[in-house]
Amino acid sequence: MATTEAGPSQETTHITEDAACFVEAVRFEDIPAEAVRIARRCVLDGLGLFVAGSAEPSAGILADDALDQGGRGDALVLGRGGARVPAPLAARVLGTAGHAHDWDDTQVSRDPRHVYGLLTHPTIPPLTASLTMAQKLAPVSGRDFLAAFIAGVEVESKISEWMLTDHYRKGFHSSGTVGTFGAMTAAAVLLGLKGEKLRHAFGMAASFAAGIRCNFGTMTKPLHVGRASENGVTAALLAARGFTADPEALDGPWGFMQVTGGGHYPEKLGQGFGRTWSIADPGVSIKPYPSGIVTHQSMDAMLKLVTGNDVKPEDVERIDFYAGSNILNPIRYPVAQNHLQAKFSMAALLAMIVIARRAGRAEFTDGFIRSPAMQDMQGRIACTLDPEIEAKGMDVIRSRIELTLKSGETLIQEADPRYRGGPDNPLTDKELEAKAAACVAGILDQGRLEAVIRAAWGVEELEDAGELARVIQTG
């Protein structure tokens, strides 16, 4: 039995079976060209983020732990030269690095019932699993690699879209939970899992899925995505060996959707898997800033305010930020003390824009966040719930900035809900390449950056998709 927000439903579902049939049948040649085009963009974005994350302490700790555990050399350990470890351990490091900056893309929903609109970070779990398994099963062609990745995004996104928003309201981090299904799907496609084994892989993924929002602002938040990647690969590998699980784990009163989200939206199930491809419709949002997606509209508004009026940090008396609960609830730190908290602190993000007029890897460091200038500016910023903004609903992100100068003048700027990076206002390919350059700056030289960009744009022509892991490797 499934449950909806309107109460119990007597509907018998077959979501797991539908997902498994889709995975069994997926072929690169059947995927629409637009989905493949966007997938290439997601691959480039993801590769840059893996490199950026490789320099983070969280990825370094996990890489050291993976090397200490050792084992069969399936795949490269990110940031550790030629060192190789079993696929699940490699996936844990890679997936955590990909989400370490909270700069990875976000799923889009057109459904106003989805409180935050953007549900999961769809790329990193299936991209990690595809990249790890491509090394283990080498050689895997670029076309097969892309088919696995796109299938993983599709399954992950549809589950997230169909599940009730109670999943997120109750505190689950969907990129860690639903991301597990994306990683498992990608690994299962490359392993060629079918029949009972594939359905058992879904069952294991349902039990492995984890991640709660109390850990936002800590190393464990990106580890949610690392564990989703690791657990998805593990589920597929164990299923291939004959390990069993419930073959209908997305359905029924004890299934994943009911237990973690209170059920699903029955009217959405007709969308099916692979009839419309979520990566293209409604699409993904590629982030211009390494922070929660609900902050970007306000950061752009602040950037417009300070550049358009040439506001210097020393000119600012105070800043009043007005928004709805869809921003103020998840972005929960009043004053950030480190770069991880800053991703979830509106005061820190706005102060960053005022001081540096940008927000990238260079600004998201503990040294910058703890600097006297940043701490002082954060103290000048007040974040307030605005009843009028709240009453307009949560279908888009709305906010208003009122900046009071020491001269007494007040400057006002409203956020544009047509946010940069989303399907309605996407980054250009050149802007995406510039983001990749910002991700790898100081880690890879220009020649290596160009190799990453070439490999991503030409991924479907690769004879061995493991090349993608080699072009981003450091150490």
Q: What is the pLDDT of residues 304-330, one digit of tens each?
A: 999 999 999 999 999 999 999 989 988
CA distance 417 to 397: 6
How many of the other CB atoms lie within 10 Å of CB of 380? 18
Q: pLDDT tens digits for 405-455?
A: 999 999 999 998 878 898 989 999 999 999 999 999 999 999 999 999 999
- Note whether 225 and 175 are within 8 A (CB): yes
Q: Which position has the higher pLDDT, 21 or 217?
A: 21
Question: Predicted confidence band at 1 (pLDDT cuts at 50, 70, 90)?
Answer: very low
Q: Which CATH superfamily is domain 293-414 in?
A: 2-methylcitrate dehydratase PrpD (3.30.1330.120)
Question: Predicted confidence band at 116 (pLDDT cuts at 50, 70, 90)?
Answer: low
pLDDT of 6: 43
Asked whether residue 7 carries a pLDDT value surpassing 80, the answer given is no
Backbone angles phi, psi at 381, to 5 degrees: -110, 130
> Shortest CA distance to 176 belongs to which of 211, 214, 135, 212?
211
Q: pLDDT tens digits for 341-361?
A: 999 999 999 999 999 999 988
Percent of the chain at pLDDT above 70?
97
Average pLDDT over residues 106-129: 86
For the chain, give every domain's residue range. Answer: 2-288+434-471, 293-414
Asked whether residue 206 carries a pLDDT value surpassing 90, the answer given is yes
- Residue 302's contacts (CB-CB under 8 Å, 6 or more residues apart) are 350, 353, 354, 401, 413
Average pLDDT over residues 171-194: 97
pLDDT of 118: 52
Q: Which position has the higher pLDDT, 384 or 112?
A: 384
Average pLDDT over residues 163-185: 95
**CA within 13 Å, CB half, 239:** 29
CA distance 130 to 380: 46
**CATH assignment, 2-288+434-471:** 1.10.4100.10
> Shortest CA distance to 107 belongs to which of 235, 283, 245, 349?
283
What average pLDDT does the chain have? Answer: 94
Average pLDDT over residues 110-130: 85
Q: pLDDT tens digits for 153-164?
A: 999 999 999 999
Asked whether residue 196 carries a pLDDT value surpassing 90, the answer given is yes
CA distance 256 to 250: 5
> Shortest CA distance to 298 belongs to which of 278, 276, 279, 324?
324
pLDDT of 4: 43
- Note whether 469 and 135 are within 8 A (CB): yes
Average pLDDT over residues 232-248: 98
Q: Which position has the higher pLDDT, 88 or 393?
A: 88
**Total-model pTM:** 0.91
> Shortest CA distance to 77 belongs to which of 93, 56, 101, 55?
93
